[in-house]
Structures are given as structure tokens and as C-alpha cells.
Amino acid sequence: MSSKFGLIDDAVDVVDRSEGKIDLSGFAPVQKRSPIDLAEVDAAAAPHGFVSREAVPVITDAATPGRRRRAVPSEPTRHLAVRMVQSQYDRFVGYADRYKLTYHDAITKLLDAAGE
């Protein structure tokens, strides 16, 4: 491009960016990752403040029926309290909400799916 007052030669003004190209040969395309345990990955970072920043979808549809009270189970019940990192909690509660399951039914469904 010519300068306003014609004092700069075009050849000087133009920056030739084709020069000084960097050699990128020898780098193979990225490899497919080995599967990683996301729960372990999340748990390792949680103490440093790395928590989920993604909003959990909230079901606000008024027409959606709430959870119904179930029949009293015939076998004795036991209490299980689990402390977990926020992201795991959000995933689990989101899962139960999505399928409209109580937490114990959600655990049963996951165990069934895992073949346990």
C-alpha cells in the first residue's frame, strides 16, 4: 500500500509474511485418546476449585407430574449418605431429574445398566 505522502516505497511498506515459515513437518495428526475416568479427573481438580460451571437443566414445565409416592417396599431399608464433588452431584441429580426417578430408583437403573 502507498503511504499518504508518497515517502515510503511500496516494497518497504509491505510486510511479506510468506517469509520465515515454520517447519511443522514430523508432527503426526493427533491420536485418539485412551478412555479416561471422568469421575477421577473431576475429583482430582475439584480441590483446586475446578467445578462445573455449566447450568444443570431445570424442568419447569408445570404440567410435568411430580414424583409419586411409591408403595412401601416389602424388604427392610438402609440409609446411604454419599459425599461427592459438585460436578458428580450435578450429573447424578440431572440424570434422576431427566428420567423423573427418585435417587434410589436412579441408582437401581444405573446398576441394572452396568449389569451389576
CB of 90 to another protein, least distance (A): 9
Site for another protein (CB under 8 A): which residue of 5, 6, 54, 68?
Answer: 54
Q: In degrees to the nearest 10, what's the CA dihedral of 56, 103, 96, 105? A: 170
Cβ atoms within 10 Å, residue 96: 19
**Counting contacts by CB under 8 A, is residue 42 touching another protein?**
yes
Q: Closest Cα partner for 91 from 47, 46, 61, 48?
A: 46
Residue 112 as a binder of another protein (CB under 8 A): the answer is no
Q: Contact between 29 and another protein (CB under 8 A)?
A: yes
Q: How far is the CB of 99 from another protein (least distance, A)?
A: 16
In the complex with another protein, which residue's Cβ is closer, 30 or 113? 30
Question: Which residues make Cβ contacts (< 8 Å) with residue 100, sequence separation at least 6?
Answer: 64, 67
